[in-house]
Amino acid sequence: MKILHVISGGETGGSKNHLLSLFKGERSHEMMLLVFQKGKLYDEALKEGINVELMEQKSRYDLSFLKKFRTYIQSNHFDIVHSHGARANLFVRLIKNRLHAQWAVTVHSDPDLDFMHNKKMSTLFSALNKWSLAKTDKIFAVSDRFKSMLKNYGIPDNKIVSIYNGISFDREKIRGDRTNLSLSEDDFTAAIVARLHPVKGHSVLFKAIASIKDKIDLTVLIVGEGDLKNTLLNEAKSLNIEKNLRFLGFRSDIDELLSLSDVSLLTSKSESFPLVLLESAREETPVITTDVGGVRSLIPDPSYGWVVAIDDHAQLASALMEAYSLKKSGELTEKGKKLRNHAENNFSLRHLQDSLLKEYKKMLNK
């Protein structure tokens, strides 16, 4: 069985890490990766020894390469083309009728929110992505909530399978060094690992911080890059919380940053099943997250972490205050250990890979 994974190549966050993880460990089938641009994903794939093909376009909207793209798939006799993201989905859809291969898609995000920072782009590209998804042979939704969303778009139930993300838990928690950030063990520190984009909800977090900054000492590590950076810097200044924030930009030491943090934050308006929450669980770092995607599968009750309403800075502030109190009483670390145990038992990389292989075989009637 030959599988070709297709993705734009510009990804830097969860979808990049998800895709690279599929190539880890032993497997009974052959897999290759194709990207349309150079970037961190392409560089990491080469570094990890993944068989990756670069098929660059003249521009983002250049479709002249589609014949070459189709020929590559046909000449390599792939059984399944598995695409990730709106751009890759569209390109496969445009050649689908001339392919012998089956087509699978993993939906990592809500098509209606992918381009929420640009209304014109949102209307067009959301419609194109939904048009593409309607023609797939199989769709993998990374949470049951996303499966319901896809059904609401008119996609038949028998086309959609929920397969939650997974990561490797083959190592113990690492020990992050706070002195590298001039932090002491007593400092209450939170981390948010997310691109600087409206859907990630940084502004709500900033309002929450502003409401409690005079009650607790709090440092939040802002990890990620994006078009919203200057806007967020100005928001922080206007709320007078600059001293509570550290804008760290892109980092390659995410695990260490999560490990040295007391809590990990996710304040998004929409997500599927965020890998950063599993990465936080691996480092035994408790999580405060908005009620998005499949997060309640990871945090089924308050003993595992905090789930707050979307866009509710008061609930977010309350969760931060509670986490601060648990740190002071020495109880916060136990919550993190319980979270890791639950994640390790239910969201392993092996389970993800085995679930995909099972569905691939069904697609090919093997």
Is 197 within the bounds of a domain?
yes
Same domain flag for 185 and 329:
yes
Q: Which helix (H) or strand (E) element contains residue 53? A: strand 52-54
276 and 144, same structural domain? no
| Statement to judge: residues 353 and 319 lie in one domain | no
CB 332 within 8 A of CB 304: no
* 186 shares a domain with 87: no
Report how many helices (DSSP H) and strands (DSSP E) the chain contains, helices first. 14, 13
Contacts of 128 (CB under 8 A, 6+ apart): 86, 90
- Say which residues have a Cβ less than 8 Å from residue 118's Cβ, sequence separation at least 6: none
Please give the distance of CA 29 from its chain centroid, rounded to a whole number.
Answer: 25
Q: Is residue 285 part of a domain?
A: yes
**Number of domains into which the chain is organized:** 2
- 73 and 47 in a single domain? The answer is yes
Amino acid at 114: D
354 and 319 in a common domain: no
Q: Is residue 172 part of a domain?
A: no
- The set of long-range contacts for 138-141, using a CB threshold of 8 Å and a minimum separation of 24, is 138/102, 138/103, 138/104, 138/105, 138/359, 138/363, 139/104, 139/105, 139/106, 139/107, 140/104, 140/105, 140/106, 140/107, 140/356, 140/359, 141/107, 141/272
Co-location of 188 and 310 in the same domain: yes
Q: pLDDT tens track of the chain, all 366 residues?
A: 999 999 999 887 778 888 999 998 877 789 999 999 999 999 999 999 999 999 998 887 788 999 999 999 999 999 999 999 888 999 999 999 999 999 999 988 776 665 555 566 666 777 888 889 999 999 999 889 889 989 988 999 999 999 999 999 989 999 889 999 999 999 999 999 999 999 999 999 999 999 999 999 999 999 999 999 999 999 999 999 999 999 999 998 999 999 999 999 999 998 888 899 999 999 999 999 999 988 999 999 999 999 999 999 999 999 999 999 999 999 999 999 999 999 999 999 999 999 999 999 999 996
Same domain, 353 and 339: no
Same domain, yes or no, for 297 and 352? Answer: no
Gap between the Cα atoms of 234 and 242, Å rounded:
9
Residue 283 near residue 259 (C-beta atoms within 8 A): yes
Half-sphere exposure of residue 250: CA atoms within 13 angstroms, side-chain side: 7
Q: In terms of Cα–Cα distance, which of 341, 270, 250 is closest to 303? A: 341
Give the pLDDT confidence score for residue 122 in this predicted structure. 60
Look-up of token digits 């309607």? 134
List the strands of the sheet with 189-193, edge to edge.
Answer: 245-249, 219-223, 189-193, 263-266, 287-290, 306-308
173 domain residue, yes or no? no
Same structural domain, 229 and 300: yes
Whether the Cβ atoms of residue 191 and residue 257 lie closer than 8 Å to each other: yes
- 8 A C-beta contact, residue 332 and residue 303: no
Domain span at residue 31 reads 2-167+348-363
**Rounded alpha-carbon distances, angstroms, from residue 30 to 26, 88, 215, 349:** 10, 20, 56, 18
pLDDT of residue 130: 86
CA 278 to chain centroid, in Å, comes to: 10
**Residue pointed to by tokens 């007078």:** 240
- Other CB atoms within 10 Å distance of the CB of residue 76: 14
Q: Is residue 249 part of a domain?
A: yes
Kindly state whether residues 103 and 48 are assigned to the same domain. yes
Same domain, 328 and 188: yes
pLDDT value of position 113: 61
50 assigned to some structural domain:
yes
Which CATH number is 235's domain given?
A: 3.40.50.2000
pLDDT value at residue 120: 61
